[in-house]
Structure 1
Amino acid sequence: MTTEIDSISDITHAQLLPRYVRISGNLYGAVFTLMKIVPARHILRAALARGDLGPDTLIVETTSGTFGLALAMEAALLERRLVLVSDPVIDVGLHRRLRDLGARVEICSEPAEVGGFQEARLRRVAEIRASHPDTFCPEQYSNPDNPRSYAVVAEEMLRRLGRVDCVIGPVGSGGSMCGTVRTLREHNPQVRAIGVDTHQSVLFGHPDGPRTLRGLGNSLMPPNLDHTVFDEVHWCGAGEAHAATRALHREHALFQGPTSGAAFQVARWWAERNPDARCVVMLPDEGHRYQETTYNDAWLAEQSLAGADLSVKPREVAAPELAVGTWDWFPWARRSFEDVMGEGR
C-alpha cells in the first residue's frame, strides 16, 4: 500500500489554504479556517530563514483578533516567545486561547487621542521592543511579506477554478485582497477587486470612529493597503453583516464569522448583477469565536443589531464621505487615495 505520510506537516500548513465551495451559479467561496495563518506563517518562516528570528528572539505584535491567534499557533510550533498587545475589545475566549498557546497578552486600557486603541497598541509595542535586546515584530500593516504571502492563495484559486473574473473580500491590513488580486492580475489584468469595509473606518476615506463590526476596517492607514487595486468599495453596517453571516450558515451551511458575512452580502449582490463573471468571495475565519455574539439572538437584540433586512440593495454614493447609510458603495476605479479624496487627506 502506498501512503503519503512523509507529506503530512503541522497544523498551520494543513490549514493554510481554503476549501472552495460553490455558493450559487457563478459565486464560489474561498472558505478559510483561519485566513491569517497565511501571512503569519509566511512572515515568521521568512524571518527564520533570514536569521531575524533566533532561538532567543522575542516576537512582539499588536492585534485584537485572528492575526494574533495565527501568530500564537505558529510561535508555539517554532518554540518562540510571543507578546501580543491588544485592547479591551478582545473576546474572552480568544484571550484564553492565546494564553493557552503560551503567548503573553498585554491590554492597553486607554485609546490614544489620535489613532485610538491601534495607536496606543503600537506605542506599547515600541516600548516593549526598546526594553528587550532581541525582538522581531511581524508588522502586519506594513510588512510587504503580508500581501506577498497570498500569492499561494491566488495560484491555488486559479488551479481549482481555472478562471477568476472578480474577487470580493473584507479589508483590514490590506494584505489578503491586495496580495491575492495582484497575483491574479499577472495572469489576467481584467480581474476585478471589490473591497468590503465598514463605516467609520479610515481605509477608504471615512473619519475614524467607533465600529461595532470588528475584523475589518482600521483606525490607521496601513502601508500595505494599495488603493489602486480596487474597482469598487462597499461599506457595510453591522446589523446587515451579522444577518448575512447567519444567512450564509442557514442557506449554505457555511459556519463563518461576521467579516465573512459582510463579504458574502456584497458578493451575492455583485454576482447576481454580473451573471457571466466567475466570482470568488473570501471568507476569512470560522464562526466558533462568534457563538456568543453573531450567533446569539439575545446578544443581537441587546445591541440593537437584530432584524436587519437583507433584501436592501446598496446605495451608490458620489464620494466616500457620503457613505453614511447601512450599505453604501463607491466606484473606486483603481485610483490612489489622493486621486479620489484629494491631496492632503
Structure 2
Amino acid sequence: MAPLMRELQDFENPRFVPLKDKLYAASFHLMKLLPARYMLEQAAARGALQPGATICESSSGTFGLALSMLAARQGYGLVLVSDWALDRHLHRRLEELKAEVSIVVEPAATGGLQQARLDRLQFYLNSIPGSYWPAQYDNPDNPLAYGQFAAQMIAAIGRIDCLIGSVGSGGSMSGSSRYLRALFPELHVIGVDTPNSVLFGQPSGKLGLSGLGGNILPKNVDHSQFDEVHWLTPVETFQATHELHRTHGLFMGPTSGAAYRVAEWWSRKHPDKTAVTIFPDEGHRYSETVYDPQWLSKFPEISATTPEQPADVASPRERMMSWSRFAWERRSLSDVLAT
C-alpha cells in the first residue's frame, strides 16, 4: 500500500523559493497530500481502514482533492461533504476522480456550514458499513505528518528564526513548529487568521475566505505554539495574493497571499533573521474568484490602499476591520481569553 501512495510524493513536497534575502517561501503544489497520505497509511496500519472501504470526510478544498487522488489510486470509495462555496471546477474534478460529493446548503444554528457538514457526514458514517473518517481537524496524525516537511525545511535552508503560515485545520503550523523547536527553541511562530474565525478567539461569524479560519475550533490547533497572531480581512488577503503574483510570479491561493503579507512585514522588521512562510496550494481553483476582476469588483474596498503594518489589539475578541495583530506569547486559548 505505501509504495503506491508514495508515487504521489512529488506533488506533496514543497519548492523552497527565495522571496528576498533571508525570506523563503515553502511553495506547495498541493500541501494536503502530505497529511492525507500519512493519515491513510497510519489508519491502514492500525486496521481502521480496510482495503476497498469507503472514506468519508467533510471538505470544500484541497484536503478533499488529496483524498480523491489517493482513493482513486488505492481503490477506496470516497464520500465528500461540502457546501455551496465549493469551486465548480474542483467539484467537477472530484467527481471525475469518482468521489461522491454531497452539498450542504443550509447552515446549522450553531457552528454554521461547518457544523451542518459534520452533521451530514455523520449520517454517511452511520449508514456505510466499515467506513473511515480521517477527521483532519482532530486527527493527531495530521500534525505528525509535518515532521517530514520540517526536515525538508532544515535541509534546504538551515537555521530558521521565524515560521509564518495561515491556520485552518491547525496541522501544518502546529506540527511544523513543534518539530522545528526541537532544534530551534527560540523559533518565532506567527499564525495568520481572518476576522469572525473562532480559531484564536474571535466571535463566530461569516467567513469570506476558503481554507483560512473556521467556525469550529479543531483539536489540532495547538495555541501554545504561537508567539503572535494576525488577522487579515478577505479584501486585504485578495490584494496580497495579487501582489504575490505580480511581484514574484507565484500563482497561489488566498491563504498563501495572507501568509505572504505577514511574512513580508516581519522580514522588513527583522532583516537579520531567517524566515519561512508556507504557501499551501496554487491558485487555479480561484481563477473565477480571487483572480477574476469582475468577481473582485463586488468588493468596493478592493482599490483601497493596504495598511503597511498591522494595528495591535488588546484582545483577540475585538472587532477587527483591518489587518490586526495580537501578542499570543505561546499561551493556551483559555489563558489568553481569561486575561
For the pair 1:210 / 2:230, whether they are aligned, the reply is: no
Q: CA RMSD in A?
A: 1.5
Q: Does structure 2 conserve the Cα–Cα contact (< 8 Å) formed by 1:98 and 1:105?
A: yes
Q: Which piece of structure 1 moves more, 119-128 or 10-19?
A: 10-19
Which residue number in structure 2 is paired with residue 148 of structure 1? 144
Aligned equivalent of 2:222, options 197, 219, 226: 226
Q: How does 1:182-221 map to 2 (within 5 A)?
A: 182-221=178-217
Q: How does 1:11-50 map to 2 (within 5 A)?
A: 12-50=8-46
| Distance in 2 of aligned mates of 1:269 and 1:323 | 22
Q: Structure 1 residues 273, 208: CA separation in 2 closer, same or farther (over 3 Å shift)?
A: same
Q: Offset of 1:47 from its aligned partner?
A: 1.3
Q: Offset of 1:119 from its aligned partner?
A: 0.7
| Distance in 1 of aligned mates of 2:80 and 2:299 | 28
Which residue number in structure 2 is paired with residue 3 of structure 1? none
Q: How does 1:1-345 map to 2 (within 5 A)?
A: 12-304=8-300, 306-342=302-338
Q: Offset of 1:11 from its aligned partner?
A: 5.3
Q: Does structure 1 conserve the Cα–Cα contact (< 8 Å) formed by 2:5 and 2:70?
A: no
Q: Structure 1 residues 10, 225: CA separation in 2 closer, same or farther (over 3 Å shift)?
A: closer
> Deviation string for 1:75-114 (max 9, x for gaps)?
1111100000011111111111100111000011211100
Q: Offset of 1:305 from its aligned partner?
A: 5.1
> Deviation string for 1:283-327 (max 9, x for gaps)?
010011111111111110123352142353210011111251210
| Distance in 2 of aligned mates of 1:170 and 1:268 | 14
Identity of aligned residues (%): 49
> Deviation string for 1:51-84 (max 9, x for gaps)?
2221231100001111101111111111100000
Q: Does structure 2 conserve the Cα–Cα contact (< 8 Å) formed by 1:56 and 1:134?
A: no
> Deviation string for 1:155-208 (max 9, x for gaps)?
000000011110000001100000000000011111111000000000011111
Please give the secondary structure, in 2, of the residue aligned with 1:221.
coil
Q: Structure 1 residues 142, 264: CA separation in 2 closer, same or farther (over 3 Å shift)?
A: same
Please give the secondary structure, in 2, of the residue aligned with 1:285.
coil
| Distance in 2 of aligned mates of 1:56 and 1:15 | 24
Please give the secondary structure, in 1, of the residue aligned with 2:139.
coil
TM-score (norm. length: structure 2): 0.96
| Distance in 1 of aligned mates of 2:232 and 2:189 | 16
Letter matched to residue 224 of structure 1: N
> Deviation string for 1:243-301 (max 9, x for gaps)?
11111111111110011000000000011101111000000100111111111111101
Letter matched to residue 116 of structure 2: A
TM-score (norm. length: structure 1): 0.95
| Distance in 2 of aligned mates of 1:162 and 1:323 | 39
Q: Structure 1 residues 91, 305: CA separation in 2 closer, same or farther (over 3 Å shift)?
A: farther
Q: Which piece of structure 1 moves more, 330-339 or 313-322?
A: 313-322
Letter matched to residue 218 of structure 1: G
Please give the secondary structure, in 2, of the residue aligned with 1:219.
coil
Q: Offset of 1:8 from its aligned partner?
A: 10
Q: Structure 1 residues 113, 59: CA separation in 2 closer, same or farther (over 3 Å shift)?
A: same
Please give the secondary structure, in 2, of the residue aligned with 1:306.
helix
Q: Structure 1 residues 151, 305: CA separation in 2 closer, same or farther (over 3 Å shift)?
A: farther
| Distance in 2 of aligned mates of 1:304 and 1:72 | 37
| Distance in 1 of aligned mates of 2:93 and 2:232 | 29
Letter matched to residue 147 of structure 1: P
Equivalent residue pairs, number: 337
Letter matched to residue 57 of structure 1: A
Q: Does structure 1 conserve the Cα–Cα contact (< 8 Å) formed by 2:235 and 2:299?
A: no
Letter matched to residue 72 of structure 1: S
Which residue number in structure 2 is paired with residue 4 of structure 1? none
Gaps of 5+ in 2: none
